[in-house]
Amino acid sequence: MKSFLIDRYAKGAALRLGESPEPQLRDNDVMVKVHAAGVNLLDCKIRDGEFKMILPYRLPLVLGNDVAGVVVRIGAKVQRFKPGDEVYARPAQDRIGTFAEYIAMDEADVALKPNNLTMEEAASIPLVALTAWQVLVERANLRKGQKVLIHAGSGGVGTIAIQLAKHLGAYVATTTSTSNIALVRALGADVVIDYKKDDFGKVLQDYDVVLNSLGKDTLEKSLAVLKPGGKLISISGPPDPAFARESGSGWLLRQVMWLLSFGIRRRSKRRGINYSFLFMTANGGQLGKITSLIEAGDINPVIDRVFPFERTNEALSYVETGRAKGKVVVAVI
């Protein structure tokens, strides 16, 4: 099958378009013919080798972490899906590979595609929506009337997180650039901070939750907007000891993560704030709940551009610029 692969880790390198074996179908797997694949900054970071210590992939590796397509075969023990079903998913982190014609995934990681979305729209959803769900619902337990700051509101995670937070009844603030203010307001943001003009740390206060997807300076400044007992949840690091334990990291890597997060954990503790790092995981059950919200009109995809499959490298380069509004998608069919 045609696929986009990396043969070695290299920062900014182009993926190789080549032939790779069709994935093996396990007893609990569904084989999906890929119609569209979402493009994420995570793909760029894996290509660059940023996660090679915690995600030890065997090379050559087919990249891609979001998929929408049609089930063509099922394993012997599959019960929830049948050939012909339109599905979408974020594959398990050790079974990625959506920049290809086919992918095999455990049925537990897959959900039926929302019936009101195109394949391209559906492919834009899984990774970012699961990230938002796992931060706001699972980790933060965000409740009606609480205040949440969502950084980078016009990005892939931000556009979904704003909508999910509003569905949960929260009061939502977000940061964005001047050109994206209208977009995030349309998504439901109550307060919009133009980071080019204003300092969010001096404008916002007494927030319950912050979802951080930006760098160290933004992470540390976010402490100032949280009230005691608040939760600072970062999807961009640094990883904390809890993540090290959950990921089954070895002793040395656990020590490295402990040291990397020591500063922010210490400053958080002094302020009575809980800091945690979240690396989202595949979950078909949660994605099914997200499907219900999409079909009810509570969450809508935001897509910046759709690239044809042969221009996957251009799609990755565009994502790396940081200028995309919402998601970038590759149309395989």
* Average pLDDT score, the chain: 95
322 within domain boundaries: yes
**Residues facing 17 on adjacent strands:** 4
292 within domain boundaries: no
Segment 255-263 long-range contacts (CB within 8 Å, at least 24 positions apart): 256/53, 261/237
Are 108 and 243 in the same domain?
no
Number of domains in the chain: 2
Are 41 and 112 in the same domain?
yes
Are 148 and 236 in the same domain?
yes
Q: Could you report the per-residue pLDDT of 288-308, keeping only the tens digit for each?
A: 999 999 999 999 999 999 999
261 within domain boundaries: yes
285 within domain boundaries: no
Of 250 and 113, the structure prediction assigns the larger pLDDT to 113
Separation CA 181–CA 64 (nearest Å): 30
Collapsed DSSP state (helix, strand, coil) of residue 66: coil
296 within domain boundaries: no
pLDDT of residue 178: 96
Domain that holds residue 112: 2-125+301-331
Bond preceding residue 238 cis, omega within 30 of 0:
yes
Instruction: Give the pLDDT band of residue 246 (cuts 50, 70, 90).
Output: confident
**Residues facing 286 on adjacent strands:** none
Are 146 and 101 in the same domain?
no
- Contact between residue 241 and residue 225 where contact means Cβ atoms under 8 Å apart: no
Separation CA 144–CA 275 (nearest Å): 22
- Report the 10 Å Cβ neighbour count for 94: 10
Identify the residue whose tokens are 């929302």: 114
284 within domain boundaries: no
Q: Could you report the per-residue pLDDT of 136-148, keeping only the tens digit for each?
A: 999 999 999 999 9
Range with the poorest average pLDDT among 14-28, 107-121, 135-149, 238-252: 238-252
Are 176 and 264 in the same domain?
yes
Q: What CATH code is carried by the domain that includes residue 66?
A: 3.90.180.10
Looking at residue 324, its amino acid is A
- Which percentage of the chain shows pLDDT scores above 90? 89
Q: What CATH code is carried by the domain that includes residue 226?
A: 3.40.50.720
- What's the rounded mean pLDDT across residues 125-133? 98
Instruction: Give the pLDDT band of residue 56 (cuts 50, 70, 90).
Output: confident
Separation CA 130–CA 125 (nearest Å): 8
User: Which one-letter DSSP state was computed for residue 98?
Assistant: -
pLDDT of residue 30: 98
